[in-house]
A and B are shown apart, each in its own frame.
Chain A
Amino acid sequence: MSLMQEMASRAQLLGIPMSAHLDVTYRCNERCVHCYLDHDDNGEMTTAEIKDLLDQLAEAGVFILTFSGGEVFLRRDFLDLVAYARKLQFNVKIKTNAVMIREAEARRLRELAVDGVQISVYSHRAEVHDAITKLPGSFEKTIRAIRFLKSQGLRVTIANVLMKWNMGDHTGVHALADELGVIYTLDPTITPKIDGDMSLLSLRIPGEQLAQVFQIEKLVGNVDEFCAPPKPVQEDDLDAYSCSAGHTLAYISPYGDVYPCVQFPLPSGNVRRQKFSDIWWNSPQLKEVRSISVRDLPVCSTCAHAGACSRCPGLAYMEGNMRGPSTADCEKSFRRTGIPSANMLRRQGQSVPTMPLIQIRPADTTSSIGPMAS
C-alpha cells in the first residue's frame, strides 16, 4: 500500500473528504458525441461563491482538488480560481480539452504549481478527433497545447475515451502520447447523460473489442495475471466499499449541487443553501451511500468477481438501484476473465459459480486502463 493509499484509508476512517471534483462550468467549446453533460449556463456560481466554497473545502480537509467542466478555460476567472486554490494549498489537478491553452496559460499553470493536467485526445488522426469533438481544428490546437504544457515541465495525461467511433485508434494515441512524453490512460466506459438519458450507451465498444483491449500487455501488464479467473471471495471483500464516492470524494456542480461523484448524480445538497461541511456530514443521501458495503448488494455480494470488481455505484444508480449491479462493470469483468458475473447469470437463469478473484491494476505509471470522470 502506498503512502497516499494509507492516507486515503485514514481519511475514510475519519470521514474526511480528501478529494473534491469541482466542475466550474458546463459550457464547452466542443460538442463531443459521447458527452454526458448539457452545455447551457443555468446559473453558474460566481467567482466569489467559488472562492467561498474553496475556503470551505480546505476547512473540511480536501487535499486533492480537480477542476473540470465543461471547458474550464471558458471561465475568464479560471486562472484566478486556480491561484486562489493554490494559496489554500490544494493539490490542484485540471481536466481540459486544452484548445484555449497557449504559452501564457501553460506558463501560468506552471507558476501556480498545478500538479497535473488531463487532456482528452480521441485519436491520433485529426479527422477522427475533430469528428468526435465536432470542433474543426481541435486536434491541432490540443496537441499544440500539450507541447506548451510539456515545455513548462507540467505533468500531462492524455485521456483516451474509447467508443465505436475511435475503437481502432488507441494504439495510435498511445504512440502519440509516448512521442509527446506524456502519460496515457484509456477508458472504455461511456456513461449515461447526467440527466439519466441512456442513449449514449449505444456508443460503447462491443464486448469482443473490450476483450481484445484487455489482451494488450502495454496497457494491462501481465496479461495472464490481469485476465486470470477471480480468487475466492473473502470476508474482507464483503466488508469493503465499491469506491471512494461519498466516502472520501465529493463532486460539486457549477450550480453548487453536491453529489457523491460526477458519475453518481444523487442530489445530496447545495452549497448555496448549506455549508459544504453540513452537507458532507449530515446529508441523508451521503449517509446512505456510506452505509452500503459489498455485503449489502443483493446480487453483487453473490458474485465471483465481488473482491476485485470495478463496480461503479453511480452507474448502478443510473440503472435504477445504487445497490444493484453496474452492467458496464459486469461486462468488463466478463470480458477480462471469461467468467460471467452473478448479474449476467441471473439474467440467464443460471446458478452462480464461486471463482477466484484478481485485482485490476495498471501496467506501470505511464499508462493505465480504467474509468475516468470526464
Chain B
Amino acid sequence: MSSKYLARSSQIAARLLGGEMMIMSPLDSTFFTLNEVATVIWQAADGNTTLDEIVRDHVVPSFDVDPAVAQQDSEEFAYELCRHGILLVSDHPISAATRPESS
C-alpha cells in the first residue's frame, strides 16, 4: 500500500468543518468525518503522490508522530476509505481521465 498512488473519488461530497473533513458518499449515503491527520492525507491524495510520500511530506512534519506509526496508521486509513470507494488506489499515477469512475 505504501508505494501506491492515492486519489480522491470524484463521486463524493466533501467539506472542511472546524479542521475535520466531512465526506458523503452518494453511492450508499455513507457519511464520514476525518480527524485532522486523516484530513491531511485526504487533501494530499491528488493521484500523483504515493502514500509514503504523503506520510513523509505532510503527516510527519505536521504532527508530533513517529514515522513508522504514522505509516501504519495511514495505510489502515487508506485501506478503509478505499473499501468504501471514496479513495482510489493504484500502482500508477491516477489522472482524472484514467479514473474508472470517469464518464
A92 touches B13 (CB 8 A): yes
B15 touches A114 (CB 8 A): no
Which chain A residues lie closer than 8 Å to B26 at the CB level? 91, 113-115, 155
Instruction: Summarize B's interface: helix, strand, loop or mixed.
Output: strand
Which chain A residues lie closer than 8 Å to B12 at the CB level? 89, 113
Chain A residue, CB-CB nearest to B101: A113
Chain A residue, CB-CB nearest to B32: A3
CA distance A319 to B102 in the complex (A): 50
Which chain B residues lie closer than 8 Å to A111 at the CB level? 103
- Closest beta carbon of chain B to A9's beta carbon, Å: 11
Which of chain A's residues 13-30 have a Cβ closer than 8 Å to chain B?
14, 16, 18
Which chain B residues lie closer than 8 Å to A361 at the CB level? none
- Which of A7, A86, A113, A115 meets B22, CB within 8 Å? A7
Q: Known contacts A10-B18, A11-B17, A14-B18; decide if A115 and B33 are in contact (CB<8 Å).
A: no
A155 touches B29 (CB 8 A): yes
Chain B residue, CB-CB nearest to A14: B18
Q: Known contacts A4-B31, A91-B24; decide if A63 and B17 are in contact (CB<8 Å).
A: yes
B14 located at the interface, meaning its Cβ lies under 8 Å from any Cβ of chain A in the complex: yes
B103 touches A63 (CB 8 A): no
CA distance A61 to B15 in the complex (A): 7
A258 located at the interface, meaning its Cβ lies under 8 Å from any Cβ of chain B in the complex: no
Q: Known contacts A7-B22, A91-B26, A114-B26; decide if A63 and B33 are in contact (CB<8 Å).
A: no
B29 touches A18 (CB 8 A): no
Which chain A residues lie closer than 8 Å to B10 at the CB level? 86, 113
A18 touches B17 (CB 8 A): yes
B13 touches A90 (CB 8 A): yes
A7 touches B17 (CB 8 A): yes
Q: Which of B15, B16, B22, B27 has the most CB of A within 10 A?
A: B15
B95 located at the interface, meaning its Cβ lies under 8 Å from any Cβ of chain A in the complex: no
- Closest beta carbon of chain B to A184's beta carbon, Å: 17
CA distance A104 to B95 in the complex (A): 26
B11 located at the interface, meaning its Cβ lies under 8 Å from any Cβ of chain A in the complex: yes
Q: Known contacts A111-B103, A113-B26, A115-B24; decide if A89 and B31 are in contact (CB<8 Å).
A: no
Which chain B residues lie closer than 8 Å to A286 at the CB level? none
A101 located at the interface, meaning its Cβ lies under 8 Å from any Cβ of chain B in the complex: no
- Which of B13, B16, B33, B103 meets A91, CB within 8 Å? B13
A143 located at the interface, meaning its Cβ lies under 8 Å from any Cβ of chain B in the complex: no
- Closest beta carbon of chain B to A247's beta carbon, Å: 14
CA distance A113 to B30 in the complex (A): 13
Which chain B residues lie closer than 8 Å to A18 at the CB level? 17
CA distance A2 to B30 in the complex (A): 12
- Closest beta carbon of chain A to B43's beta carbon, Å: 12
CA distance A2 to B31 in the complex (A): 10
A145 located at the interface, meaning its Cβ lies under 8 Å from any Cβ of chain B in the complex: no
- Which of B11, B17, B27, B29 meets A10, CB within 8 Å? B17
Which of chain B's residues 1-40 have a Cβ closer than 8 Å to chain A?
10-18, 22, 24, 26-27, 29, 31-33
Which chain B residues lie closer than 8 Å to A11 at the CB level? 17
Which of chain A's residues 50-90 have a Cβ closer than 8 Å to chain B?
58, 61-63, 86, 89-90
B interface with A by C-beta (< 8 Å): 10-18, 22, 24, 26-27, 29, 31-33, 103
Provide a sorted-by-A list of 28 A–B residue pairs whose CB atoms are within 8 angstroms.
A2-B31, A3-B31, A3-B32, A7-B17, A7-B22, A10-B17, A10-B18, A11-B17, A16-B17, A16-B18, A58-B15, A61-B15, A61-B16, A61-B17, A63-B15, A63-B17, A63-B24, A89-B12, A91-B13, A91-B24, A113-B10, A113-B11, A113-B12, A113-B13, A113-B26, A113-B27, A115-B24, A115-B29
User: A7-B33, A63-B15, A91-B13 known; 18 other A-B pairs, CB under 8 Å?
Assistant: A3-B32, A4-B31, A11-B17, A14-B17, A18-B17, A58-B15, A61-B15, A61-B17, A62-B15, A63-B13, A63-B22, A86-B10, A89-B15, A92-B13, A113-B10, A114-B26, A155-B26, A155-B29
Closest 8 CB pairs between A and B? A91-B13, A63-B15, A113-B11, A111-B103, A113-B26, A115-B26, A89-B14, A91-B24
